[in-house]
Chains A and B, each alone.
Chain A
Amino acid sequence: MSRNRLTVVLSQAQGKNPAKRALEESIAAALIMEQGLDVSVVPYLYDLDANHTGRLFLESVQGDMVILGWMYPRAAFWLLDRDGIKGHYGENELKPPAALDDDDDDEEGEPEPPKGIGSVDVPDRRIYCLDLRDFNGHEPYIEEVRRIAAECRERREERQREMASPAILQVGIVARAEEPAPFAPETLLQQPGRRWYPVIDYSRCTNCMECIDFCLFGVYGVDNIDRILVENQDNCKRGCPACSRVCPEHAIMFPDYKTPAIAGAPVGNITGLKIDLTKLFGGDVKDALQQAVVERDRELVNDGRSAVGLTVGIPKRQTDKPHGPKDELDKLVDSLDALDI
């Protein structure tokens, strides 16, 4: 597990779908033949709790890492970040065939600048997440891992060149690289129970706290610097994505949810952001907030509590309110704010 090797982790699908298992096996077999890679297999990333060996293994990885899993890259990346397995987001160049077809009529897909609060204490390494649902064969994944390995090697060499006396420092790096205890495949692959909880994308989250106000099951909390945090993951109600619907920034993901926007599909990218045409096909669609209230009430009643409807934790956004010119009273109030009393 030297810092000069790239760690590649394949996260298995839930269940025993033979097609998915076959893809996993062909990818693992091909990766093992590649030079300069440390390849490991763990169960479904989302289900690993803090005590699972797979999670301990992921925590022990120090350098750049590639994760191949059955979920959107954004969901996988922020899921790891929540677990303290942090790094910078490695852009992958895997494009599912459908996304490539769309490239010519894609002028609406301008990426928006990030306005979220971001992660904290991010080490100088990259984590690349590849979605195993994109292709049926192993070849595109192997090619992409090769490309990433080359990119990481270049970055490493670049960093070494920037240092004053590379020869000595190189020795230093090798000396620092600790070999963690090996993880036995049987414990690594022990099948965890299914879990269900929200994952926050901090590149989008603005810490507005609407989720903590809305959720009545104690899932959310704040950390020691008052940042929103998914504190009690297993308090969350299986199948309920209500908090995701009230998030004004689409920052809350449920990787296993059926609609891509909630499962962590790319935001701001027209090929990934799917519109709901239910209304056009004859459906009587509730808006996101109404839907969230229905979902929350259902879970409250299941718990033997009373439904609260629209009376608790409803966002009080007034984004539609026009910004008129400030009058004397506004200026007076602003000046009071400035006094910091």
Chain B
Amino acid sequence: MPDAVTFMMGKFAAEMPGDLLYAAQNHMWCRAVDGHLRFGFTAYAVRLMQDVYFLDWVVSAGDTVAQLRQIGHIETSKAVADLFAPVAGTIVAFNQELLQDPSTINVDKYGKGWLFDMGGDSRALLDVNRYHQYLADNWDKTQRLIKGKINTDD
């Protein structure tokens, strides 16, 4: 198992545990739980979004989704975003507690703040070092995107 890795987002250290797989395109972590794949936001995603106010799913447990099909929507103190399926497969369950209080995502992102369980193939996901590499390769572009959004777009 690789060691945990830290990615520096400017001054902020985003911690990534070594025992997880990562869906880099979605900034979600993945852990095998009870024969399913459990997904949640990485520290990187949470730092960008900050306090989560509202989380909404547009598909139901039992639905089969293609990879990158939209499955939900999130609103935080700093951002809004649509959410997409990290892999193709069947949604098993959503974390019901988050629907009551989504701030658990901020408090315990790698634990109780998990988002959903789904059945699917995790082979295309990255290990922590490759996710770190992905973040490093895209950090300039990400910063430009965010700054561009703030200045010109919504």
Contacts and interface: CB of A to CB of B under 8 A. Distances in A.
B51 A98 contact: yes
Interface in B117-154: 142, 145-146, 149-150, 153-154
B27 A280 contact: yes
Interface in A238-297: 250, 258-262, 270-271, 273-284, 287-288
Contact of A271 (B75, B77, B146): B77
Interface of A: 98, 101-102, 108, 250, 258-262, 270-271, 273-284, 287-288
Contact of B83 (A260, A281, A284): A281
B77 A98 contact: yes
Contacts of B79: 274-277
Nearest to A279: B145
A281 B82 CA distance: 8
Nearest to A288: B153
B129 to A, nearest CB: 21
B69 to A, nearest CB: 10
Which 10 residue pairs spanning A and B have beta carbons closest together? Answer: A261-B154, A277-B81, A282-B84, A275-B149, A282-B25, A278-B82, A282-B26, A278-B81, A277-B79, A98-B77
Contacts of B45: 280-281
B84 A281 contact: yes
A102 B68 CA distance: 32
A280 B48 contact: yes
B154 A276 contact: yes
Given A259-B154, A275-B150, A281 B75 contact: no
Interface of B: 23, 25-27, 45, 48-49, 51, 53, 68, 70, 73, 75-84, 86, 142, 145-146, 149-150, 153-154
A273 B77 contact: no
17 contacts: A108-B150, A260-B75, A261-B154, A270-B78, A274-B75, A274-B78, A275-B78, A276-B149, A277-B49, A277-B81, A278-B82, A281-B27, A281-B81, A282-B23, A282-B84, A282-B86, A283-B82
Nearest to A245: B154
B150 A273 contact: yes
Given A98-B51, A250-B154, A280-B48, A275 B84 contact: no
A283 B81 contact: yes
A222 B82 CA distance: 36
A142 to B, nearest CB: 24
A312 B106 CA distance: 45
Contacts of A278: 80-82
> Of residues B51, B75, B154, which shows the largest number of chain A Cβ atoms within 10 Å of its Cβ?
B154
Contacts of A280: 27, 45, 48, 81, 142, 145
A283 B70 contact: yes
Contact of B80 (A250, A270, A274): A274
Contacts of A260: 75, 80
Contacts of B84: 281-283
Given A98-B77, A282-B26, A277 B150 contact: no
B3 to A, nearest CB: 26
A270 B70 contact: no
